[in-house]
Amino acid sequence: MRHIFSLCILKFGIIFLFPCATTFVTFASEPELTGSSVWRISKGDNTMFLAGSIHLLREGDFPLPRELDLAFAQSTALALEADIRQKAVGELQSYLMSQMFLPEGQTLETLLEASTLKKLRIAALRYGIPLETVSHFKPSMLMSALAVLQIQSLGFVQEGVDHYYLHKAVNANKFLYFLEAAENQVDAILSMGVGYENDFVLYSLQDMENVEAFLTSILNDWRTGEAATSEATLKSMKRNFPLIYQVIVTDRHDAWMPQLEKFLTSDSIYFVIVGLLHIHGPDGLLQLLKDLGYTVEQLK
């Protein structure tokens, strides 16, 4: 499954494990701007703005597209996937520490094939981690750590679109709302690969070889308002790993949609920011809102 394991690890791991990454790389070339990843959702006199977020940005990605600032300026409330303020992240780390280890009697050596262990040992040593010191980690936890270290080495920063507008909303004293508990996101990432740990680690290691190119592609799509990379990733995930697709996409969207509809009946104008992969595809939020009769307009 191309890139989906690494993408999810990057999304959750960067936010919750390493909130202080601060190095940069830049675009080799600027994409042609044809649209944006911001949409106005409306029905009658009620309006909401919905934006796709990239949780990892680089110095060259700023300033952000003006459509994001336009939506923020016209809104009175900000809604994010989860509370990513520093205090909440600190509290979440304690929960993560309580969930990161394999059950007693299990180790990476008991779960993985010898050939997979060899590849994992090489990858871990590349970042200064002897495999023996993390043999009791859940595979998803170890791959999260390796992915974060890889991203740091590539120069990507932790502060993304959601963090940026959270700071602005706090400074502007706007109402804040969170679609789900952050613990739910940790549970989702730590449950990945359960029951097929060997395949999970192999796919993750393979995808780590192509992460830089993938992130460049998804960033270009995000800035121009295109959906090709997101839709290809979602299609692959749904076809090859339907259980992960259900946990990460379908179940969460089912929980979010009643909240989005509530926003569209309130007196406030909400600016909702979620990961870009939640926007597109046949089960994405845009399509679900269209199916319910809402007008969806891309800001350009």
Residue 216 pLDDT = 84
More confident: 15 or 37: 37
pLDDT above 50: residue 13: no
Higher pLDDT pick, 46 / 33 = 46
Of 9 and 285, more confident: 285
> Residue 177's beta-bridge partner residues?
79
Q: Which residues lie closer than 8 Å to 190 by C-beta, 6 or more apart?
A: 96, 99, 100, 138, 140, 141
32 pLDDT tier (thresholds 50, 70, 90): low
Please check the confidence at residue 57 and state whether its pLDDT lies above 80: yes
pLDDT of residue 133: 95
Which segment, 77-91, 150-164, 169-183, is predicted with the most confidence on average?
A: 169-183
Please give the structure tokens belonging to residue 247. 């946990």
Residue predicted with more confidence, 152 or 112: 112
Q: What is the pLDDT of residue 255?
A: 97
- pTM here is 0.86
* pLDDT beyond 80 at 119: yes
Q: Supply the pLDDT for residue 19.
A: 31
Name the pLDDT band for 158 (thresholds 50, 70, 90): low
What pLDDT, on the 0 to 100 scale, is given for residue 24?
A: 27
Q: Greater confidence, 32 or 73?
A: 73
Mean per-residue pLDDT, 248-259: 96
Q: pLDDT tens digit string along 73-116?
A: 999 999 999 998 866 777 788 888 889 999 999 999 999 999 99
Give how many domains the chain has, as a whole number. 1
| pLDDT bracket for residue 1 (50, 70, 90) | very low
pLDDT at residue 33 in the model: 53
Torsion of CA 86, 73, 258, 36, to 10 degrees: -100
Q: How far is CA 121 from CA 70, 109, 139, 217, in A?
A: 48, 11, 12, 29
With 70 as the cut, is the pLDDT of residue 130 above it?
yes
pLDDT of 25 > 80? The answer is no
Owner of token pair 């979010």: 256
* CA atoms 161, 261, 16, 284: torsion sign: negative
Q: Which distant-in-sequence residues (6+ apart) come within 8 Å of 297 by Cβ?
A: 39, 40, 42
Could you tell me the residue range of the domain that residue 19 belongs to? 4-298
Q: Which helix (H) or strand (E) holds 86?
A: helix 86-99
**Mean pLDDT rounded to a whole number for the chain:** 86
132 — pLDDT class (breaks 50, 70, 90): very high
